[in-house]
Amino acid sequence: MPGKLKVKIVAGRHLPVMDRASDLTDAFVEVKFGNTTFKTDVYLKSLNPQWNSEWFKFEVDDEDLQDEPLQITVLDHDTYSANDAIGKVYIDIDPLLYSEAATVISGWFPIYDTIHGIRGEINVIVKVDLFNDLNRFRQSSCGVKFFCTTSIPKCYRAVIIHGFVEELVVNEDPEYQWIDRIRTPRASNEARQRLISLMSGELQRKIGLKVLEMRGNAVVGYLQCFDLEGESGLVVRAIGTACTLDKLSSPAAFLPACNSPSKEMKEIPFNEDPNPNTHSSGPSTPLKNQTYSFSPSKSYSRQSSSSDTDLSLTPKTGMGSGSAGKEGGPFKALLRQQTQSALEQREFPFFTLTAFPPGFLVHVGGVVSARSVKLLDRIHNPDEPETRDAWWAEIRQEIKSHAKALGCHAVVGYSESTSICEEVCILSASGTAAVLNPRFLQDGTVEGCLEQRLEENLPAGCGFCHIPYDELNMPFPAHLTYCYNCRKQKVPDVLFTTIDLPADAAVVGKGCLIQARLCRLKKKAQAEANATAISNLLPFMEYEVHTQLMNKLKLKGMNALFGLRIQITVGENMLMGLASATGVYLAALPTPGGIQIAGKTPNDGSYEQHISHMQKKINDTIAKNKELYEISPPEISEEVIGSPIPEPRQRSRLLRSQSESSDEVTELDLSHGKKDAFVLEIDDTDALEDVHSLLTDVPPPPGFYSCNTEIMPGINNWTSEIQMFTSVRVIRLSSLNLTNQALNKHFNDLCENLLKSLYFKLRSMIPCCLCHVNFTVSLPEDELIQVTVTAVAITFDKNQALQTTKTHVEKSLQRASTDNEELLQFPLELCSESLPSHPFPPAKEHLESASSNSGIPAAQRAVTVEKASPVGEGNFRNRSAPPCANSTVGVVRMTPLSFIPGAKITKYLGIINMFFIRETTSLREEGGVSGFLHAFIAEVFAMVRAHVAALGGNAVVSYIMKQCVFMENPNKNQAQCLINVSGDAVVFVRESDLEVVSTQQPTANCQPLCTGGEVTT
């Protein structure tokens, strides 16, 4: 019985007119939590009622607190007939359950109705009193923090990164229950919204329990998705990475006389707890996972799973894992063993993170992915979602084995997705096989000498490119060369990954968004025949998508892809593939060779001419792109080549020349026959089409760059001007005689035009970069293609950007330093660790320095003070609020990135995870489909902003629109849309404001800091 929820309804404004006679409304409010309902008085005849209610108190289990949303309904009182509902507000009170986040939710919330949209606003105050029950961790998972951000959140430090957590819950979809035939659309929509809210609460709680079992205290990279399986039910599933996070000590902890018992300090002993006790080495695997592996594989799926990997289709024969390569020497073996021991206890050594603490990522193997086609069947028993669990377990197992084949023990940047059409479902998972530094994976006692060697052996900026697999026993015939950066280790000629570009990676020039787009027609079929058809098509699609990506990468003159995301969407009569990634030129990898075109009939003169003409065009494009993206790798001087390479000169030269002229081997070859990725054979119209499509991709207009990763390589001087947006397009295909080529062209045009429109719309922000460009394709009906894009445009300072003459090392250093304190923190620790006088593990040192403040060298202290954020949160909020003269609405920024340029995130307030349904029966009157969806998305943004503002935040980071399901029936004048969004609510402070504060700091004594510390607790 450990919680008391208190709610106060203050006032309403801008209510709709409910009584036509008086043009006024008699409004009252129902407040419901669980099964308890309270009501306010009726406030007669006003559109701006002042209820000023008493505190409604709910005494509830914390389990309910986690699962249930607070439901506020505004109604119009009617003496003679039933009261009319004006609208509802659902408030997720989860952020109030962990002490570091928000303490109160208070503010104006839009009143939302699924038929009418937003109808006025209501002012609500919500508080939670939690009993300080030490046992509470056993019953629920209150206190586990959730982050959507796929890196270690900026004001935290990762003590241990435990690993993969997953869970799914299923239920019947209210929309498909028999009762739906007799109830109103509104009732049905609300039942659905409420159910999904409940299910996500439950899911989060269950994941939290798993985290606690692993002795973690947070989930990072939390990704929750809905599968609307129609008749067969509703699945809510989530994956994430369990971590033990340590709040970066606020200055209060470092300054003397400020040893107030603040929250941070209390937590340090807690975090330290697992450290010295090695008996608990490696967190216990969650029970759930074990049941997967031993459960007899119920053949629920009538269709055998067809899966397909990109990089490793070879039959693996006992290679990878344990075998140490000759080149790697004992060090590699040691590292491998250690990582292995840390990871092997986990069933799935997966990490949903895409960016890592420095030193975490040792080597990257390449992209691993798996897909499987399933036939959906009604979920018979919602309490035992075994079928779905088994499906995913199967896929994850496959991913794991692919990673092993690449000599990697872990998969990073891992994500899962589905595409459903009628009763067919494609499950997809992908990630990047990697070798990780065990330091973060388990208790840090064993590190010792290995750590040292690691730092020595891995030169900054190229270490992650070095192959993790055994050179003599390669999983696929890749073309290896000595690393162009350190010249000591082998690297592949191209690198595909799903992660963000590591902050310390040495990059030449700028990056760019690269997309591969593909459509394949498919016959309409039923059930198994349909699933078979899809399974048969999948490998071809994957192959072509990869070929396209590779060709486009070459055309850009680049050699690596980051943030790769391949989406395969299934429709009634077609399959769509869309791959997006950010291409870059990694300094460590060899220069990519060009693209050569070969004709099939060499004797035809005009044909020859045509070919050579095309070849010239391609060469020109490559040259142009190199200029555009400033790709001019430094020529390797003789001296460098000559010096410490353990390889004879002759050979290294040979390798280079090879790689430039006729790179013929790629990882793709083995998997998909003999077609060469770089030599394009024009043997039929298809191929001709391919070449043409290569050349039709128009580069963004001058002043624009785009990428789908967090940061754009080569640009580091962001201004604070950001604009997040969502754009949706639906096209209708004329269904007659569609060919694959025509379809491809339509799809290509759709995406290209969409990008062009974005560039045009955002032209006032030039020079500007579109970051985190996220395309989603869906096929809502036979002839409809829907593309949804969410991204953020950030203006950068052109003058500074022109200073590209610096060497890349300098640049990467600069970037690292401009990045957040998370990065600052690690170098600090590393250097303190290397000091013999400090034999403490990092956490311990923190504790010590916090309590005594003796062990910190002056220089270090200076640094900490420099970046110290004097905690006065309220003070900051006032500062950062823009001087909007008479407006009462504070600005809330939204971004899909994990950071806000020019600002420092000082506090995470909790996860935002919202699901909305909007329906209309007067589509024409609302401006048609465009008017309807435009208004709805604007409303969704508004509701997200309102919730963040009520939590006391001023931004949402890692924002993502996970679902936007749009259905229309113009003949009936109807449309419906479901949207699911999530992100992290934060408080940020402008860096310019921070500087002001920190210059004032010397004069300020500790008093304000102490009080600041209390505020945060």
Partner 1 sequence: MTSELDIFVGNTTLIDEDVYRLWLDGYSVSDAVALRVRSGILEQTGATAAVLQSDTMDHYRTFHMLERLLHAPPKLLHQLIFQIPPSRQALLIERYYAFDEAFVREVLGKKLSKGTKKDLDDISTKTGITLKSCRRQFDNFKRVFKVVEEMRGSLVDNIQQHFLLSDRLSRDYAAIVFFANNRFETGKKKLQYLSFGDFAFCAELMIQNWTLGAVDSQVDDMDVDLDKEFLQDLKELKVLVADKDLLDLHKSLVCTTLRGKLSVFSEMEANFKNLSRGLVNVAAKLTHNKDVRDLFVDLVEKFVEPCRSDHWPLNDVRLFLNQYSASVHSLDGFRHQALWDRYMGTLRGCLLRLYHD
Which C-beta is closer to partner 1: that of 402 or that of 893? Answer: 893
CA neighbours closer than 13 Å in the CB half-sphere of residue 786: 21
From 852, 843, 844, select the one nearest 259 (Cα to Cα): 852
Which C-beta is closer to partner 1: that of 123 or that of 369? Answer: 123
Cα separation of 998 and 324, whole Å?
51
Taking residue 444's Cβ as centre, other Cβ atoms within 10 Å add up to: 21
Which C-beta is closer to partner 1: that of 698 or that of 862? Answer: 698
Minimal distance, residue 726 CB to partner 1, in Å: 5
Which C-beta is closer to partner 1: that of 212 or that of 946? Answer: 946
H or E, element range at 71: strand 70-76
Q: Is 640 an interacting residue with respect to partner 1 (CB under 8 A)?
A: no
Cα separation of 342 and 349, whole Å?
9
Minimal distance, residue 879 CB to partner 1, in Å: 17
Which C-beta is closer to partner 1: that of 415 or that of 958? Answer: 958
Amino acid at 19: D
Which C-beta is closer to partner 1: that of 110 or that of 282? Answer: 110
From 962, 703, 1010, 897, select the one nearest 149 (Cα to Cα): 897
Minimal distance, residue 209 CB to partner 1, in Å: 35
Cα separation of 120 and 47, whole Å?
9
Q: Which residues of 206-221 are buried (b: 16+ CB within 10 A; e: fewer)?
A: bbbbbbbbbbbbbbbb
From 913, 984, 914, select the one nearest 954 (Cα to Cα): 984
Which C-beta is closer to partner 1: that of 158 or that of 949? Answer: 949
Instruction: State which of positions 166-205 bind partner 1 (CB under 8 A).
Output: none
Q: In angstroms, what CA-CA distances link 201 with 64, 172, 194, 237, 957?
A: 9, 17, 11, 11, 21
Q: Which stretch binds partner 1 (CB under 8 A): 225-233, 310-318, 638-646, 743-751?
A: 743-751
Instruction: State which of positions 49-68 bind partner 1 (CB under 8 A).
Output: none
Q: Which stretch binds partner 1 (CB under 8 A): 28-36, 631-639, 796-804, 932-940?
A: 932-940
Which C-beta is closer to partner 1: that of 246 or that of 919? Answer: 919
Q: Which residues of 912-931 are buried (b: 16+ CB within 10 A; e: fewer)?
A: bbbbbbbbbeebeebeebee
Question: Contact with partner 1 (CB under 8 A): which of 725, 867, 965, 1008?
Answer: 725
Which C-beta is closer to partner 1: that of 7 or that of 950? Answer: 950
Helix (H, G, I), strand (E, B) or coil at 244: strand
Which C-beta is closer to partner 1: that of 636 or that of 884? Answer: 884
Amino acid at 247: K
Q: In angstroms, what CA-CA distances link 169 with 204, 417, 564, 981?
A: 10, 15, 28, 19
Question: Contact with partner 1 (CB under 8 A): which of 148, 531, 933, 957?
Answer: 933
Instruction: State which of positions 867-906 bind partner 1 (CB under 8 A).
Output: 882, 884-889, 891-894
Q: Which stretch binds partner 1 (CB under 8 A): 302-310, 809-817, 898-906, 934-942?
A: 934-942
Instruction: State which of positions 94-133 bind partner 1 (CB under 8 A).
Output: 108, 110, 118, 121
From 49, 58, 50, select the one nearest 16 (Cα to Cα): 49
Scanning 631-703, the segments in alpha helix (DSSP H) are: 638-642, 649-661, 667-671, 685-696
Which C-beta is closer to partner 1: that of 820 or that of 895? Answer: 895
Which C-beta is closer to partner 1: that of 118 or that of 584? Answer: 118
End-to-end C-alpha distance for the chain, whole angstroms:
23
Minimal distance, residue 476 CB to partner 1, in Å: 39
Cα separation of 407 and 401, whole Å?
10
Which C-beta is closer to partner 1: that of 14 or that of 186? Answer: 14
Polymer length of the chain: 1017
Max CA separation in the chain (angstroms): 96
Question: Contact with partner 1 (CB under 8 A): which of 133, 939, 991, 993?
Answer: 939
Question: Mask 744-773, x = binds partner 1 (CB under 8 A)?
Answer: --x--xx--x--xxxxxx-x----------
Minimal distance, residue 17 CB to partner 1, in Å: 13
Q: Is 815 an interacting residue with respect to partner 1 (CB under 8 A)?
A: no
From 267, 263, 257, 157, select the one nearest 851 (Cα to Cα): 257
Cα separation of 53 and 32, whole Å?
14
Which C-beta is closer to partner 1: that of 117 or that of 153? Answer: 117
Cα separation of 579 and 546, whole Å?
9
Q: Which stretch binds partner 1 (CB under 8 A): 63-71, 265-273, 717-725, 852-860?
A: 717-725
Q: Which stretch binds partner 1 (CB under 8 A): 23-31, 725-733, 864-872, 900-908?
A: 725-733
Question: Mask 940-979, x = binds partner 1 (CB under 8 A)?
Answer: -xx--xx-------------------x-x-----------
Cα separation of 908 and 906, whole Å?
7
Are the C-beta atoms of 382 and 172 separated by less than 8 Å? yes
Q: Which residues sit opposite 219 in a β-bridge? A: 146, 242
- Strands 117-130, 507-521: pairing kind: unpaired
Cα separation of 224 and 415, whole Å?
10
Minimal distance, residue 153 CB to partner 1, in Å: 21
* Torsion, CA 63, CA 69, CA 70, CA 75, rounded to 10: -150
Q: Which stretch binds partner 1 (CB under 8 A): 140-148, 393-401, 620-628, 727-735?
A: 727-735
Scanning 69-121, the segments in alpha helix (DSSP H) are: none
Question: Contact with partner 1 (CB under 8 A): which of 6, 13, 479, 838?
Answer: 13
Question: Contact with partner 1 (CB under 8 A): which of 931, 960, 997, 1008?
Answer: 931
Helix (H, G, I), strand (E, B) or coil at 692: helix
Q: Tell me the site size for partner 1, rule CB under 8 A.
A: 59
Which C-beta is closer to partner 1: that of 149 or that of 204? Answer: 149
Minimal distance, residue 689 CB to partner 1, in Å: 17
Helix (H, G, I), strand (E, B) or coil at 500: coil
Minimal distance, residue 798 CB to partner 1, in Å: 18
Instruction: State which of positions 315-354 bind partner 1 (CB under 8 A).
Output: none
Question: Contact with partner 1 (CB under 8 A): which of 45, 266, 732, 806?
Answer: 732
Edge-to-edge, what's the strand order for the sheet holding 361-375? Answer: 361-375, 424-436, 410-421
Minimal distance, residue 758 CB to partner 1, in Å: 8
Which C-beta is closer to partner 1: that of 316 or that of 745? Answer: 745
Which C-beta is closer to partner 1: that of 731 or that of 997? Answer: 731
Q: How many secondary structure helices (H) and strands (E) does the chain include? A: 25, 31
Which C-beta is closer to partner 1: that of 719 or that of 998? Answer: 719
Q: Which residues sit opposite 718 in a β-bridge? A: 796
Q: Which residues sit opposite 817 in a β-bridge? A: none
Plot region of 233 (φ>0 → left; ψ -120 to 50 → alpha; else → beta): left
Q: Is 784 an interacting residue with respect to partner 1 (CB under 8 A)?
A: yes
Minimal distance, residue 895 CB to partner 1, in Å: 8
Binding residues for partner 1 (CB under 8 A): 13-14, 108, 110, 118, 121, 701, 723-734, 746, 749-750, 753, 756-761, 763, 784, 786, 882, 884-889, 891-894, 927, 929-931, 933-935, 937-939, 941-942, 945-946, 966, 968
